[in-house]
Amino acid sequence: MPLPDPGGRPHRREHLQQVAVVLAGVLAVLTVGWVIHERVTRDDEPAPAPPTIAAAPAEQIPIPVPSVSATPSMTPVNQIVVEQVPPGKKVDLADEGETDWVHWGEQGRYSLERDSDGGFAILEGTPGEPRVRHTASPQRFTWPGAPSGGVTSGITTCGTGHGFILSAPADTGSHTLRLYVGAMQARGELRLELSTGGKAYTDTFTSRGASMGTTAYVVSYRATGTGKISIKWITGATFDENCGGVALQAATLS
């Protein structure tokens, strides 16, 4: 039998060490590959579905009921809006006054020509003095039964502080009152006020000439409740010592 090589053991040990290093490297590579594989596999997996909630039995499912809300309503306010406009040459009172119309002075200084179906919506307060019939209006007023071509009549007063007071119904609906007034050598002062409250409206109209100057006021108004609108047309100043004052011809309401 051959004798063992005295130097063989160390050589085998070195060989085994080299093999161990190689195996360790292979294991490291395999471990890294497995970790990468697991991570990629987890990334590719779909996200877990959220837990399902068992549906309630049909008889337990609440039926949505639409909430009943009140329809918003426009709250009425005490409001007066006025526009001063030049009157037309001819005014058809019956056509313009759907609710009521009145003309003053055709038959005399206390006469009223008015809508028989108007229910006395437009009213004049207690007549004051002096009160004179005139035929000086540049406008002609007509109504069913009026003289052909219309009339130019009205009433006038003289002196500072004298004038006319009217009224008309007011409520939560919208109304339009048209006033046909004038002045002769005077300054007329208009004041409108609702009995239900709110801000009063004031305006002036001046005519210094010897002939009558006229104007029309278109008054749109509504109130917070049932009441009335009061109209004052007063001589604020006179420029004639004899008989300067304001005049009133007609009014319509719609």
Q: What is the mean pLDDT of residues 112-130?
A: 94
Is pTM beyond 0.85 here? Answer: no
CA distances, 127 to each of 137, 138, 150, 248 (Å): 20, 24, 25, 12
The answer, yes or no, to whether residue 29 has pLDDT greater than 80, is no
Q: How far is CA 115 from the centre of its chain?
A: 33
> What pLDDT shows up at residue 210?
86
| Residues 166 and 100 sit within 8 Å (Cβ to Cβ) | no
> What pLDDT shows up at residue 62?
54
Query: pLDDT band at 119, cuts 50/70/90?
Result: very high
Give the rounded percent of residues in the chain with a pLDDT score beyond 90. Answer: 67
- How do residues 30-63 score in pLDDT, each as one tens digit? 554 544 455 544 544 554 555 444 444 545 555 5
> What pLDDT shows up at residue 104?
98
Structure tokens at 159: 């002196």
Query: pLDDT band at 181, cuts 50/70/90?
Result: very high
| Residues 212 and 138 sit within 8 Å (Cβ to Cβ) | yes
CA distance 73 to 19: 96
The answer, yes or no, to whether residue 215 has pLDDT greater than 80, is yes
The DSSP letter of residue 173 is: S
- How do residues 67-85 score in pLDDT, each as one tens digit? 444 444 456 789 999 999 9
Query: pLDDT band at 113, cuts 50/70/90?
Result: very high
- How do residues 188-209 score in pLDDT, each as one tens digit? 999 999 999 999 999 999 999 8
| Residues 91 and 149 sit within 8 Å (Cβ to Cβ) | no
> What pLDDT shows up at residue 76?
75
Structure tokens at 81: 């809006």
User: Omega of the bond prior to 130 within 30 degrees of 0, cis?
Assistant: yes
CA distance 182 to 248: 6
Terminal Cα distance for the chain, rounded? 145
